[in-house]
Structure 1
Amino acid sequence: MIDPLTMMHRRDLLAGGAGLGMLGALPGWAQTHGHGLSPRAELHGPDITLTIARQHMMIDGKPYHAIGINGSAPAPLIRLREGQRMRITVVNMLDEESSIHWHGLLLPFQMDGVPGISFPGIPAGGRFTYEFPVVQAGTYWYHSHSGLQEQEGLYGPIVIDPAEPDPITADVEHVVMLSDHSALHPHAIFRRLKLQGGYFNYQKQTIGGLLAGRDQTLKERLRWGAMRMDPSDVSDVTGATYRYLVNGHGPADNWTGLFAAGQRVKLRLVNASAMTIFNVRIPGLTMTVVQADGQPVRPVSVDELQIAVAETYDVIVTPPEPHAYTLVAETWDRSGMARATLAPALGMTAPVPALRPRPLATMKDMGMGGMDHGSACPPEHAAMGHCQPAGQGAAMNHGGMDHRMRDFANAPGLPKTPVVQTVAPMPVDRTGEPPQGLGDVGHRVLTYRDLISRSPSPDRRVPSRALTIHLTGNMERYMWAFDGVKLNAVTAPIPFRLNERVRVTLVNDTMMAHPIHLHGHFFELVTGHGDHAPRKHTVNVAPGGTVTFDLTADAEGDWAFHCHLLYHMHAGMMQVVTVRPDPAQPDPGQPDAEKGGAA
């Protein structure tokens, strides 16, 4: 389908910076040994200059409009070392405001890079210098937090080497940055979603699917139709408009990471997409997960993992033979894939598996999981009343239930607003089950409960209070929010007292997963691992599910808190978290552990 509003013309190809003639000379994301990047594409501290400008990028031999940094889209790798102090000057050559947010980095809030919250933004033709200490190690990334520029290519990876040797060693490593790109301007994509939430869903149920038994039965379809719900509406923006990329390369480009047989290869996986959750596997190789969101975890071996938008995972693979292996990053709705190759030499390929059948949402995704499956619940989670212990409600007969109970009019504690279309009547903790669509793949799939921190939690105090936040939305009007209130309608931020310990439960009242990111902090997932709970900065909340984490609010300032699906955030699913000293109380401190997670 050709959109006349965004169709690329010859004059567009001749405009915009260096033009297509320079594309072959750009550093890009080269196919080399080492980090998977050419040396020119790797920037080092302590002083770095980043220049933001419009350009073009080639994807599978075709030119696309983009926004890049230093002539590269995606942006160059920034490699830092724990303990150094950084000075990064960003020059904005766009004709609009821009910004850079350092995703997952702990730094002063004035350096966090969110216009209107932590700094005023970088005006057109202006510049801003970020200065901050590097207090951590691991795999992170950076991106624009202005408008929808992130969708246009304004993102890049960050690798921070530890001050002390990492006990998990590798012979070679590659950054594998996943993303999505479209010929449609991001505001054109958003406009279509506002007109029709399922505009890009080309995988709706058909008569053929009914007759072949691939989709819902007629009874199930009528039941879902009565609720005005579409079980095939898993992803808002799909392969109908997106091209899925590995390090800026499309499937036909076949980005290749090199290795020698028997080497331990570290893959630093980063999901820098705007709207796409990927299911990653390498047929023929086992992946051992050793880091999540830059934080070390006890090694866990899996055949497949789901990486939500804004998450990072470090995995180790050891190819035993000098063969090519295909890295498959299949979209969660199965509408497309990003593809790359691990091989001993350039030009080698391996079979690329076909897309698997797309998943359909279930009653559990509607928030009725506690009535049929009784999802397991961690002991400390159940003790605080945040989920239903395993088995409870498993025998309940929900066949005759009045599904109108999902109407927002029956939602206690939530405002009666258009942003609350549905309410999950029995949400359950789903952190111990494979993500949506991966429950029957026949091999080991990573779950959040598989993640165990390699070191004890830096703060082992019992939370002093609990906070519940509902993730709400209206797909028909394409409105998203926390607790039914969009960012532009919020009269007060979410307040925390400096250094207080809070247990936060996220309740997903929608049929879509939401990767939720809190700036300036790490939090510990409550998944049954006590003092070794995994620390993350982004967590994907399954449809109709809950996620609970313990947070030490040890970073004073104003911080963004939002869904990292770009168009959900743009449509209102974002709030501001403030952390301030409590003048009426002494600093509660952390007597049992070294302070952690501070900005």
Structure 2
Amino acid sequence: MNLSLATRYSCTERELVVSDNSDSKEPPISNKQPRLSRRSFVKGAAAGLAGLAISPSLQAKSKPKGVAGNFSVLDASKPGGIDLYIERKDLLIDGKVGRPITINGSIPGPVIRMKEGREALMRVHNRLGESTSIHWHGMLVPFNMDGVPGISFPGIDPGETFTYKFDVRQNGTYWYHSHTGLQEQLGHYGQLIVEPEDDDPVDYDVEHTIVLSDWTFEDPTTAFKKLKTMEGYYNFQRPTIANLDDQVKATDKGLMEVIGKRLNWDWMRMDPTDIADITGSTYTYLLNGRSARENPTFTAEPGQKVRFRITNAATMSYFDFRIPGLPMTVVNADGQNVEPVETDELRIAVAETYDVVVTLPDDKAYTVFAEAMDRSGYARGTLAPKEGMAAKVPELRRRPMLTMADMGMVHGSMKMAKKAMGGEMEMAKPVKYEAHDEAKVSPIKNRTELPVKDLPTMVEHGPDEHGPGSITMAKNAYRQFDEPGVGLGDDNRRVLSYGQLKVLETPKDRRPPTREINLHLTGNMHQYIWGFNGKKWSESQMIRFKYGERLRINMINDTMMNHPIHLHGMWMDLYVGHEYGKNPRKHTVNVQPAELLTVDITADAPGQWAFHCHLLYHMKAGMFRTVAVVRDLEGEPIDAEA
């Protein structure tokens, strides 16, 4: 394999934001880029990576404290394993002194490599003054190695060492991070690469790691309190009387029409600029720990195929990723090989990973551009044949605005779930999915196989039945797997959608499911409460899966926000209308506003697991559930070691 590793913000006047609410019982979440040939990884990993190139002035300032982005590469499958040291350390981040939580002295932490078919061994030493943890995101591990305090283990106390050890049963690009409090926001994350036991189906010459993240010099607990105290605290792009004329010009609508739409949003107690809760007003967007002005460089020779392993390790920020002038071929999503898809841009939700291959065509520099979804800033690097080269940085696009369509009120031809009949268009009849109730689970012996194609395209919500934990809700929710997302698809660029993803090889277990669970994604933005079916984690029941069963979860997003939903310990097979065996397999799925999204799951992992929104402040505010894989749906959670 080969390997190359290794930045802020420009606020437009245009859009953003919103909400979360503190749970009294919070969920237990508790510039130089070296390039190695395929054959030189082992040697290179042993030697470590050279430091990133930075300006002499910044270098001088950094001597006493170090600079973010100087991370190493470790091989956790080697005899004796590896040691990881978690501690606070003064580092220069975007030229200013911060005090992040570092892993082996860096943010991101070291790239950890493993080998499929071998054992991985990691000793984690806690040098903090508080408990910590590491969760191996997307990895199939015994539940007591999953690293979620209060769910799968007690956590790692100050001064203690915890040894993670498990057999590696997969390959691909993953990542790791803290599952304790808000430590992830403080820099506690890194990329994880699992090399395949057999030949890699991806053809490439040079490999580079890209870890995208968001950093704030504020204390994360202070940021959370601000969100609870004032809705839209970080949204400086909200509609006001002062910018009314700007909106008229930008939308090419009449003044009264614009005012009318604003009144509609006010009536629904919503804001069309609610794209991100926390924005570039406080965030510095980082690529491999470096800000845009620090511009980390990825090198390759003209004609070489470059594999970028991209991880969104941000806490709250979605990124729209592109390399202007170069088409990208998507070859891997969430660690799973997919049939190659050529595209110009992709949106990467929080906690997702994508591998893309690009060919450097000539002796020129190209900008690696990751634009925040709300357009409040960007991270940036350069792909070039040598150091010191740079390309033009694209201007930030106009910030997107939510529409009534994003709340299920009105939808265009793609979102109306229509079908052609006799030359006319007939709107599909909506169904209704009642919220899951653990007290009403039917005996498994009475079940039959559920359909695996032509699933309902639209769900009618009906009256509000989720209580104070949900103050906004879509009238209808729609399948949106062919939609690129708000703010994308209108500039003639090809944009990746879930509907384009097909697994390269059909997984072993693609039985039709026999049971379904309906979860409404709900929120009260004014109080910053987030949850499922109107309940925070502290108010909820454990969701039980029967060991060995194949089941379905329908997620209905009643909010105006995107939510990246992550299930620990098991894969989610995402329904996108393909032949059933070709539907993509993911560990994190993004659910768009007013979207109906369906995943099928094989309950093959005994123990207790976390299931949650991966927006960190939403998770803290209650959008979290505990899943127990049990022997019997009438019994208690099983002990995986029994």
With normalisation by structure 2, the TM-score equals 0.80
Question: Cα deviations across residues 485-543 of structure 1 (Å, max 9, x unaligned)?
Answer: 111122x3100001111111110000000000000011111111211111000000001
Once the two structures are TM-superposed, the CA of residue 574 in structure 1 deviates from its matched residue by 0.3
Which whole-Å CA distance do the structure 2 matches of 1:558 and 1:183 have between them? 35
Alpha-carbon distance change, 367 to 427 in structure 1, aligned in 2, over 3 angstroms: same
Aligned to 1:85: 119
Residue 38 (1) aligns with residue 49 (2): yes
1:268 Cα deviation from its structure 2 partner: 0.2
Q: Is the 2:121–2:165 contact (alpha carbons within 8 Å) kept by the matching residues of 1?
A: yes
Mapping 1:124-523, distance limit 5 Å: 124-205=158-239, 206-214=243-251, 217-369=258-410, 373-375=415-417, 386-388=456-458, 410-411=463-464, 414-416=465-467, 418-490=468-540, 492-523=541-572
Summarize deviations over 1:5-30 as a string: whole Å, max 9, x none: xxxxxxxxxxxxxxxxxxxxxxxx85
What amino acid maps onto 2:521 in structure 1? L
Q: Give the counterpart letter for 1:498 in structure 2.
A: Y
User: Against the structure 1 CA distance between its residues 100 and 463, is the aligned structure 2 distance closer, same or farther, given a 3 Å change threshold?
Assistant: same
Select between 194-203 and 456-465 the one with higher mean Cα deviation. 456-465
Equivalent-residue separation in structure 1 for 2:91 and 2:403 (angstroms): 39
Task: Give 1:226 shift.
Answer: 1.9
Pair 383,265 (structure 1): closer, same or farther in 2 beyond 3 Å? closer
Task: Give the conservation status (yes or no) of the 8 Å contact 2:545–2:633.
Answer: no
Per the alignment, residue 5 of structure 1 pairs with none
Task: Report the Cα distance in structure 1 between the residues aligned to 2:595 and 2:183, rounded to whole angstroms.
Answer: 30
Check whether the contact 1:488–1:572 (CA below 8 A) recurs between aligned residues: yes
Change (3 A) 1:429 1:382: farther
Q: 1:575 to 1:495 in 2, by over 3 A?
A: same
Alpha-carbon shift at residue 583 of structure 1 (Å): 8.3
Contact 1:386 1:505 in 2 (8 A): no
Please report how far the alpha carbon of residue 192 of structure 1 lies from its aligned counterpart in structure 2 after TM superposition. 0.4
1:225 CA drift (Å):
1.8
Q: What's the C-alpha RMSD, in Å, of the aligned pairs? A: 2.2
Alpha-carbon offset, residue 80 of structure 1 = 0.9
Any idea what SS the aligned residue of 1:473 has? strand
For each residue in 1:150-169, what CA deviation from the matched residue of structure 2 results, as whole angstroms up to 9, or x when unmatched? 00000000011101111211
Write out aligned runs for 1:101-116 (5 A).
Answer: 101-116=135-150
Distance (whole Å) between structure 2 residues aligned to residue 539 and residue 41 of structure 1: 29
Partner secondary structure for residue 159 of structure 1: strand
Whole-angstrom CA distance in 2 between matches of 1:322 and 1:41: 28
Which of the numbers 573, 583, 586 marks the counterpart of 1:536?
A: 586
Assess if the C-alpha contact under 8 Å between 2:34 and 2:49 holds in 1. Answer: yes
Letter in 1 for 2:577: G
Instruction: Point out the more displaced range, 537-546 or 198-207.
Output: 198-207
Tell whether the 8 Å contact from 2:32 to 2:387 is kept in structure 1 after alignment: no
Q: Note the alpha carbon deviations across 1:45-95, whole angstroms, 9 max, x for none.
A: 231111100012322322222000111111111011111101211111111
Distance 1:197 1:137 in 2: 42
Quick one: distance in 1 between partners of 2:549 and 2:523?
30
- For 1:87 and 1:80, locate their aligned partners in 2 and report how far apart those are by CA, in whole Å: 9
**1:159–1:167 distance in 2 versus 1, CA, 3 Å:** same
- Which amino acid counterpart does residue 438 of structure 1 have in structure 2? L
Residues 209 and 215 in structure 1, CA contact (< 8 A), matched pair in contact too = no
Whole-angstrom distance in 1 between the partners of 2:633 and 2:418: 41
Q: How many residues align?
A: 535
Q: Deviations over 1:317-340 (max 9, x none)?
A: 001111100011000000000011
Residue type matched to 1:365 in 2? D
Aligned to 1:364, the other structure's residue is in SS state helix
Q: 1:563 aligns with which of 613, 618, 624?
A: 613
Cα pair 2:546 2:633 within 8 Å, conserved: no
Aligned partner of 2:83 among 43, 46, 49: 49
3-state SS of paired residue (1:274): coil
Q: Does structure 2 retain, via aligned residues, the 8 Å contact 1:473–1:484? A: yes
State the AA in 2 paired with 1:505.
N
Q: Distance in 1 between matches of 2:279 and 2:493?
A: 26
Kindly indicate whether the alpha-carbon contact (under 8 Å) linking 1:279 and 1:306 is maintained by their aligned counterparts in 2. Answer: yes
Could you tell me whether the CA contact under 8 Å between 1:370 and 1:426 is conserved in 2? no
Unaligned runs of 5+ in 2: 1-30, 51-70, 420-427, 429-449, 636-642
CA distance in 2, matches of 1:564, 1:213: 33
Deviations 1:333-362 (A, max 9, x none): 000000111011111000001100000011
Secondary structure at 1:368 match in 2: coil
The TM-score with structure 1 as length reference comes to 0.86
Report the AA paired with residue 224 of structure 2.
F
What is the CA-CA distance between 1:383 and the residue it aligns to? 5.8
What is the DSSP-based 3-state SS (H/G/I as helix, E as strand, rest coil) of the residue aligned with 2:458? coil
SS of the residue aligned with 1:484?
A: coil
Q: In the alignment, what sits opposite 1:94?
A: 128
Provide the C-alpha distance between the structure 2 equivalents of 1:432 and 1:103, rounded to a whole number of angstroms: 26
Residue by residue, what CA displacement relative to the aligned partner does 1:81-139 show, whole Å, maximum 9, x if unpaired? 11110121111111111000000000000000000000000011112111101111000
Q: 1:81 to 1:376 in 2, by over 3 A?
A: farther
Distance 2:572 2:248 in 1: 47
Superposed CA offset, 1:458-505 (max 9, x none): 212111111111100011111100111111122x31000011111111
Tell whether the 8 Å contact from 1:234 to 1:333 is kept in structure 2 after alignment.
yes
Aligned partners of 1:480, 1:518: CA distance in 2, in Å? 17
Instruction: Report deviation, 1:573.
Output: 0.2
Q: Distance in 1 between matches of 2:386 and 2:573?
A: 41
Q: Cα offset for 1:249?
A: 0.4
Amino acid at match of 1:225: D
Q: 1:443 Cα deviation (Å)?
A: 1.1
2:458–2:476 contact (8 Å) kept in structure 1: no
CA drift at 1:213? 3.5
Q: Identify if the C-alpha distance between structure 1 residues 135 and 91 changes in structure 2 by more than 3 Å, giving closer, same or farther.
A: same
For 1:69 and 1:62, the matched residues in 2 are separated by 19
Greater shift in the superposed pair: 523-532 or 140-149: 523-532
Tell me, in whole angstroms, the C-alpha distance in 2 between the residues paired with 1:122 and 1:482. Answer: 29
| Shift of residue 368, structure 1, vs aligned partner | 2.5
Residue 194 of structure 1 aligns to a residue whose secondary structure is helix
